[in-house]
Amino acid sequence: MNDPKPIVPCPTCRKPTEWTQENKFRPFCSERCKLIDLGAWANEDYAIESEADDIYREE
């Protein structure tokens, strides 16, 4: 049976990308997009807010 492969947009460049085990970069379309995303986390462009953040927040 031929199951359709889910297509998702790459989080970095929005290019349609197959969500399969063969795509070792999933959900990204390429290693480049994966590294761009990693760099954004390292630069603190992204952050996950937590209750502990309230301790350091200025009022």
* Residue 49 assigned as binding residue: no
Q: Is 59 annotated as a binding residue?
A: no
- Residue 1 marked in a binding site: no
CB-based contacts of 26, cutoff 8 Å, min separation 6: 8, 17, 18, 19, 20
Residues belonging to the binding site for Zn(2+) are 10, 13, 29, 33
Residues belonging to the binding site are 10, 13, 29, 33
